A and B are shown apart, each in its own frame.
Chain A
């Protein structure tokens, strides 16, 4: 199978000479869920945010290496185009507070100045909300603000907002860590559905979550990618001593 996303020697530094992510090389395959694990501060978010060029927002951050998304180097593309191809979901649910649920789903289009016909809009909204299992819950309150929903619903709305743009990959940074177990469960089920259409990379603190949903897992430590492989294999027979120590709870 051909990788959809290839990282080659990707390094990111916030201060010159000190790499928060150090020479990470790996391949991500289409229609898989990859979990990025590792102790807090090991560079998981930093790596994830390199993929959709979020580091461009801050002048001091340097990214080197190659990030090849569908054959093109992300670091040489227009960041706005990259971000439409690689959607991101954040830790805190953050629907735009002044927009209705309907407008939140379409926010990617309005913000990019893409005009849609009414039918097209309704189709995208329904489809996106269906794919996050939110349609039935909100179809009668479409004009209410997004902040009117519960935390778990808000997070699913944010996923729908990202999916509406039909990205190639979905980058998720601890998307359930602010949610209760029931909402978490719902989102995990959702991700297993969504991988049929998308490629998902999820940063998670929660090892059992990684075990439940991911096909592949990456274990990072002090900015380096220590181990990457099949999740079941990594959980049962870790190749690296650090990985084993982390998975058995020696540190983390």
Chain B
């Protein structure tokens, strides 16, 4: 075989592989496309102002409306406020804690205790969410004697923590050592170097990590069933049971009269999560140091 034909052959093989890779990645997009199609086409009907302004209707009211051919009377306001309350509390707990652990890990590479913390962070990241729900049940629901938004937020905090820790750690590790040294060489305290130089310099990466952690836990259902339980009214009390959008979706699934609300709620959840991811991308790009 001469030289040029073997090159030809290699080129042809290259091309085939490239086409195959393209084909399979398209193939992998098909489920995503169908999910989007399903959620949008079935969800848009009930995706109206009511969804945002009214609480979940009773099964009876929904049945009446359906038999009259009316749209379902009610929305998911109680789920939205619940999600805001629970996720908001979880952000309040997990962000400072995650920042501190991430700073510690970035600054103490190679130390034995840091290695242990890092290993535990990995374990936590792989922990099934139902197990985390059970832990939050045992730690918070049991001692307090009641299901609560607080208990739900503890579960979500545990889920968000490893993601925030990792993104903080990785971001800080990527900053040049000389920022830290230059700050300290000006006579600054370590605390001021961390909070006035390092965290602002790594803001893009850290903030992106936080947004992705939020979008990851927004759709969590199982751990909330064991902790926040659910509620049919709007309230902002963290010691009382609260609802959340994914919890409502589960309720709707179990009630044939409310089944139509599944899709509009899912659509809302998807939109919020896409938005968060989109903002995360923009922030990551804009704040590159």
Binding site for B on A (CB under 8 A): 52, 54, 57, 80-84, 87-88, 90, 92, 94, 96-98, 107-108, 110-113, 147, 158, 161-162, 165
Contacts and interface: CB of A to CB of B under 8 A. Distances in A.
**Closest 5 pairs between A and B when the two form their complex, measured CB to CB:** A111-B188, A84-B187, A88-B185, A108-B186, A98-B200
Q: Is the interface of B mostly helix, strand, loop or mixed?
A: helix
Nearest to B197: A96
A94 B179 contact: yes
Q: Is the interface of A mostly helix, strand, loop or mixed?
A: helix
A81 B187 contact: yes
21 contacts: A54-B185, A57-B181, A83-B184, A83-B186, A84-B186, A88-B185, A90-B178, A92-B176, A92-B178, A94-B179, A94-B182, A97-B179, A98-B201, A107-B183, A110-B196, A111-B183, A111-B197, A112-B192, A147-B289, A162-B185, A162-B186
B185 A97 contact: no
Contacts of A162: 185-186
A96 B184 CA distance: 12
A54 B178 CA distance: 12
B254 interface: no
A161 B186 contact: yes
Nearest to A59: B111
Given A52-B185, A92-B178, A162-B186, A111 B289 contact: no
Contacts of A90: 178, 181-182, 185
B13 to A, nearest CB: 45
Interface of B: 176, 178-179, 181-189, 192-193, 196-197, 200-201, 203, 289
A247 B196 CA distance: 44
Contacts of B193: 111
B7 to A, nearest CB: 44
Given A98-B201, A111-B193, A87 B178 contact: no
Nearest to A57: B184
B179 A83 contact: no
Nearest to A145: B289
A108 B187 contact: yes
A112 B187 contact: yes
A110 B196 CA distance: 9
B186 A165 contact: yes
Given A94-B178, A96-B197, A83 B185 contact: yes
Contact of B182 (A96, A110, A112, A165): A96
A83 B189 CA distance: 11
A63 to B, nearest CB: 16
Contacts of A111: 183, 186-189, 192-193, 196-197
B192 A113 contact: yes
Contacts of A94: 176, 178-179, 182
B289 A97 contact: yes
B206 to A, nearest CB: 12
Q: Report which residue of A52, A84, A111 has the largest number of chain B beta carbons within 10 angstroms of its beta carbon.
A: A111
B115 to A, nearest CB: 16
A197 B203 CA distance: 38
Given A97-B179, A111-B196, A80 B289 contact: no
A80 B182 CA distance: 12
A97 B91 CA distance: 27
Nearest to A52: B185
Contacts of A52: 185
Given A98-B201, A98-B203, A112 B178 contact: no
Contacts of B184: 54, 57, 83
A176 B74 CA distance: 70
A97 B184 CA distance: 16
Contacts of B176: 92, 94
A35 to B, nearest CB: 20
Nearest to A112: B187
B23 to A, nearest CB: 43
A87 B178 CA distance: 14
Contact of A165 (B178, B187, B201): B187
Nearest to A108: B186
A169 B181 CA distance: 17
Nearest to A158: B182
Nearest to A111: B188
Contacts of B183: 96, 107, 111
Nearest to B189: A80
A32 B178 CA distance: 27
Nearest to B107: A57
A107 B186 contact: yes
A158 B185 CA distance: 12
A121 to B, nearest CB: 16
Given A87-B186, A90-B178, A112-B187, 7 more contacts: A80-B187, A83-B187, A94-B176, A98-B289, A108-B187, A111-B183, A162-B185
